[in-house]
């Protein structure tokens, strides 16, 4: 497994990088990889999202950029204090995008468990939840069975920035972070656990994992 790490990368540049990585996998020039990064504050609108769900672009005295993206899902926020994990995975043999999403969720559930946070899936939607509050959002796209985009874990972002959107289509904004759950930890420590679980789930013996539930019938999930 290849690891690509950025301290912080503008969202459009990150999407362009992922496009190149997917093209390399499809051409046989690269195997799957994990990209770990943060983004400057940005609201992203997925293929199921509506610009009307961006309620304001100004939070405090800060203007937040808005970017339309090809990932599945609705409107979400990315910013400092949030670890974004993009998994470029070759599913051409397996052809099961729902299992891929299950792995993304499981990677974060296991990571949070390492820090004493009990997390789970929830019937309200895909992602990772802690007592009814979403702590990690998923948005995935698949091109010719090679995946990109991924999952964003709230470590300690500015939670006020979620007030500018209808988060993932949920007007009550049920979001939380590791810090709000009483766990203050550096990004590097979280990355080490994410990487360990990614290696297990995506790049060794992944085909033996349980069948994921079919929650959406699309090649774009979010």
Element (H, E) at 104: helix 97-114
Rg (CA), the chain: 16
Q: Cα–Cα distance between 107 and 124 in angstroms, integer?
A: 19
Active site residue 168: yes
Q: Cα–Cα distance between 81 and 177 in angstroms, integer?
A: 9
**If DSSP codes are grouped into helix, strand and coil, which group holds residue 153?**
strand
User: From the candidates 33, 85, 142, 168, which is the catalytic residue?
Assistant: 168
Q: Report angle CA 70, 156, 46 to the nearest 5 degrees.
A: 10
Catalytic residue numbers? 168
């Amino acid at each position: 497994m290849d690891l690509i790490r950025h301290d912080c990368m503008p969202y459009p540049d990150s999407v362009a990088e992922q496009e190149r990585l997917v093209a390399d996998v499809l051409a046989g020039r690269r195997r799957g990889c994990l990209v770990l990064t943060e983004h400057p504050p940005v609201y992203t609108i997925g293929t199921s999202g509506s610009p009307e769900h961006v309620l304001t672009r100004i939070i405090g005295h800060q203007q937040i950029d808005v970017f339309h993206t090809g990932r599945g899902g609705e409107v979400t926020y990315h910013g400092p204090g949030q670890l974004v994990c993009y998994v470029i995975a070759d599913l051409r043999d397996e052809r099961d995008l729902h299992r891929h999403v299950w792995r993304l969720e499981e990677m974060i559930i296991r990571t949070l468990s390492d820090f004493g946070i009990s997390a789970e899936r929830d019937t309200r939607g895909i992602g990772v939840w802690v007592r009814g509050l979403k702590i990690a959002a998923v948005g995935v796209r698949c091109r010719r069975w090679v995946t990109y985009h991924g999952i964003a874990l709230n470590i300690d972002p500015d939670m006020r920035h979620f007030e500018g959107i209808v988060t993932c289509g949920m007007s009550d904004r049920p979001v939380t972070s590791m810090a709000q759950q009483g766990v203050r930890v550096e990004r590097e420590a979280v990355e080490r656990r994410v990487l360990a679980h990614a290696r297990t789930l995506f790049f060794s013996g992944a085909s033996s994992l349980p069948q994921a539930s079919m929650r959406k019938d699309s090649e774009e999930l979010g």
